[in-house]
A = this chain, B = another copy of it.
Amino acid sequence: MNDLTCNCEICELKDIFLKHASTSDVENICNIKVEKEYKSGEIIVNQGEEINDFSYLKKGLVKLFRLGSTGKEQIISIAKPLDFVNLLSIFSDKYYNYSVSAIADSIICSIKLDEVKRLILGNGRFAFSIIEKMSRTSDKIIIDSLEIKQRQVFGRVAYILLFFSNYIFSGNLFELPVTRKEIAEITGMTTENIIRTMSTFRQDNIIRINGKTIEILDKARLLKISEVS
């Protein structure tokens, strides 16, 4: 993990995060923000740690995951650039009830939570843009979770492959940023069943598999499977 320096004026996060901040606020934030680089695999946040920062993902991919009360590890969501990295709890809890780790080399921009709170209190337009963003983030997590829950193994794997293809990579050929075990932790299945299901898709010429490289050959059929099973 390395610290970086950057200029907020030319940062693409500014358009989202600071759209409604005043010029002086932007300048102030630029001075106090901390930008860090994480290698794939590095832990960014540990479940149980105190929440002090508000963090955006500038580059890379991260996974949010947690150790449930029965001892199983579950992946809550995969975040891509311009998503905010800590979930909602930052404004209601004192400690993280999930962990975050990089699943690709990533850059994260953090601002002290107190500063963000100060901004919210003093600037309604800024507050509203945070609400909108939070709203979209948690909505997506809830809906995705429900959609996965109502499917069986074939439908679940199809749904996840479409998620990576459509939401994360916007393309039919991509490198899976997660292991088969991690897909199992997203979908609530076993690793073996993920592999078996993907093998079936390959045999049916729906996808091509080469290690972590996946190519979706028949998206229509994958969509159909995701809808009926």
Contact = CB atoms under 8 A, between A and B. Distances in A.
B70 A151 contact: yes
Contacts of A227: 69-70
Interface string A67-98: 01110101010000000000111111100010
Contacts of A141: 142
Nearest to A121: B124
Interface string A113-134: 0000100111111011011111
A29 B147 CA distance: 37
Nearest to A119: B124
User: Size class of A's contact patch?
Assistant: 35 or more
Given A70-B227, A142-B141, A149-B149, A91 B188 contact: no
A134 B121 CA distance: 16
Contacts of A93: 135, 139
Interface string A129-161: 011111110110111011101110001000000
A39 interface: no
A124 B116 CA distance: 12
B127 A92 contact: no
Interface of A: 66, 68-70, 72, 74, 76, 87-93, 97, 117, 120-125, 127-128, 130-136, 138-139, 141-143, 145-147, 149-151, 155, 188, 227-229
16 contacts: A68-B147, A68-B150, A70-B150, A72-B150, A74-B146, A74-B150, A76-B146, A88-B138, A89-B139, A90-B135, A92-B132, A121-B128, A124-B124, A124-B127, A138-B138, A138-B142
